[in-house]
Chain A
Amino acid sequence: MGLLTILKKMKQKEKEVRLLMLGLDNAGKTTILKKFNGEDINTISPTLGFNIKTLEHRGFKLNIWDVGGQKSLRSYWRNYFESTDGLIWVVDSADRRRLSDCKEELHQLLVEERLAGATLLVFANKQDLPGALPAEEIKEALELDLIKTHHWLIQGCSAVTGENLLQGMDWIIQDISSRIFTMD
């Protein structure tokens, strides 16, 4: 290992990424966060306020903000927009009744100036449930193809089994790092 490699590694250590995780209540945001962090997911209560976790992943320091999704809290989401590198929008794929709500809230976020540069990852969560719509149908329902302002990807996943969480996270980090850290 040469000196350059070591220096490069040290430089990578400093790479901090701020991820903001939003979505309607009961979408599974806290469960995703805990599962990704290897914590117990069986004793979760609804999030009033927010959770923040800092974790190392593939040489990046991730600051993940998980903010409560109930209607009365949504007006406070804006307080967490500042310096967000990536937005993770979590959808309960089995909650067909509120999909239009879900679409509206997401599109409202995308016009926010302070989120303009952020990469968007949509987690079509709860794929383990029998009534869940596949990611492709969630994409249609949320009209993701209309989004031209942000890099985006939709990923079907299950926070309970952990399926595809890593794929989604790897993509968003890779996309952010290719935008931000290529200048190094």
Chain B
Amino acid sequence: MFSVLCNRVWYAVYFTLLHPMLKWLLRKVTGKCELLRICYGEQVGAPRTRAIEKSLKHSKFQALKRLLTDNHVNIDQAVEQILSIKSITVEVHPQFQPTIHICLTQICGYREFITELESVRKTPYSSENNRHEEMLLELWRKLMPDVPLQSRYNRQWGDIGFQGDDPMTDFRGMGLLGLQNLLYFATQHNSTARQVLAHSHHPQYGYSFAIVGINLTGVAHQLLISGALKTHFYNVVQGKPKLDHFHQVYCYLFHEFDKFWLAEKPHIMEFNKVKAKFAKRIVMHLKDRNATLSMKCVTSEAK
């Protein structure tokens, strides 16, 4: 209790008093504002963009703070605003403008991407929607190319790890995103996906492929919402992330989870414990600002 209080007091003192003093001192000594120093000093990608984000968060200018919360930020205008507030001369620092432009696009893009992704997730799977149905059947064909599906409502769905004879009810809170994730994995990394599916049929350490997949959509979604995925996206995507970037993270997670599961050799009833342990491991990995979540070994397949 006491240490929590101490921590809070220290935080308050640091950010209201010490940090501004330090920034002022550094500005006088180096002749550059914090944003400029970050652009010069921090390595491109997550180290730089996250430092810029932190600097904006603790800025004394409300206009700069608002860049982290406003919807539909006009990046060009925002850059102009920073140049004028910080009195930065473009001729003296020619690299600043394009650099801060990329950082802001990444920062605002991440936030906008969450809204986009949420609309896919909140779209429930509907068996009355032909497009949804076609995607579901395509998933079967990609995973089981040699076995035709006898009928739409069929216990065969259990072979790819759905719970009953109608996968519709399994997508739940992950909605269409759950299906899109699975289909992307089965399409873009077909042999890996089928290898993982084969692992899931292990008599002793098997698991339900599709259900685990939908749970992993949940893990990826949580990583995105919590901001943990910023590290990866800032390192990999120069602008605003797109759905495919998220699908790629998903493929990485599924592939890694499969390896993790086989190494742990748990009982199926321990799934939630293993999932939590796996998610924690990913979060730890993303704390390293140079980290990415990319399927290196199988990228050749995507061609």
Please report A residues at the B interface, Cβ cutoff 8 Å. Answer: 25-26, 41-51, 69-73, 76, 79
Contact = CB atoms under 8 A, between A and B. Distances in A.
B83 to A, nearest CB: 41
A70 B169 CA distance: 12
Interface residues of B, number: 27
A43 B164 CA distance: 20
Contact of B272 (A42, A43, A49): A49
Contacts of A71: 158, 163-164
A26 B163 contact: yes
Given A45-B214, A76-B269, 20 more contacts: A25-B170, A26-B172, A42-B122, A43-B222, A44-B173, A45-B173, A45-B174, A45-B215, A45-B217, A45-B218, A46-B211, A48-B208, A48-B211, A49-B269, A49-B272, A51-B272, A69-B163, A71-B158, A71-B164, A73-B268
Contact of A70 (B208, B215, B273): B208
A43 B269 contact: no
A26 B166 CA distance: 11
Contacts, number: 69
A26 B217 CA distance: 18
Contacts of B221: 43
Contact of A46 (B121, B122, B158, B172): B172
B218 A50 contact: no
Interface string B109-151: 0000000000001100000000000000000000000000000
Nearest to B214: A45
A79 B269 CA distance: 10
